[in-house]
Amino acid sequence: MLAIIGGTGLNEFSEGEVVGERHNHYGYTSAAIVQSEVAGRSVCFLARHGNPHTIAPHQVNYRANLWALKQLGVSQILAVNAVGGISPAMVAGALVSPDQLIDYTYGREHTLYDGSDDKLEHIDFSFPFAENLRGALSRAADSCALPLLDKAVYGVTQGPRLETAAEIDRMDRDGCDIVGMTAMPEAGLARELAMDYASLCLVVNPAAGRSDRLITMDDIHRVVDTGMVKVRALLTAALAELQ
């Protein structure tokens, strides 16, 4: 089964029935998980920040979310992330399927191997995003005539504040093309649970210092409102590609 994890601007995907329990031994999931039929296949949807959107990136219970999806039989995850653009090609409104990430977060519950069950595994995380899912996104973008940038490094910051211009300069030197707050520990936990994971990012603003204007939430919301129409179309087409 495939799951979609919705980020900022995608609090619901399609009508369906609530499945599973919100509470597990890692705590409560961000929202109820909704299962529906989309493009001829069964899909679970989970709103990362809750529905309505109230949970800050550093307060998301990523472990409970991923564990709950695993218990429902999910083996593939398409995650939607709103990000800022660092590299010149990453303009507001662009769709991006990153192939790498750098984790700058701290203090988050980032692993299932916390000593509570006397187990320890060191997962291979060389390539954090599943190529089969990224390929489906690329094919779906072609079928929808939607430009998709499929080579990018996602820098994951703590949030909820946006970054300083100096921090973005450092991330640029590190090789980051986009910046967001939610790909980690989500991607790492998916790998620990042996679930394929890929991110579909919508660039909603130039990163700090990458334009001559201040970043405003009004500007971000305008891009989110128009961009999520494209995201929904691309996700639906990708589901068909994964039949």
Task: Pick out the residues of the known binding site for phosphate.
Answer: 8, 48-49, 182
**Contact (Cβ atoms closer than 8 angstroms) between residue 196 and residue 133:** yes
Binding residues: 8, 48-49, 181-182, 205-207
| C-alpha dihedral (210, 186, 141, 34), degrees to nearest 10 | -130
Give 180's strand partners: 156
The Cα-based distances of 185 to 89, 93, 207, 210 in angstroms read 26, 25, 21, 26
The set of residues, in sequence order, having a beta carbon less than 8 Å from that of 217 and lying 6+ positions away, is none
* Alpha helices (H) in 130-185, listed in sequence order: 131-144, 165-174
Please give the Cα distance from 107 to 123 (Å, whole number): 20
Structure tokens at 69: 């999806």
Please give the Cα distance from 41 to 238 (Å, whole number): 11
The CB-side HSE value for 106 (13 A sphere, CA atoms) comes to 1
Binding residues for substrate: 181, 205-207
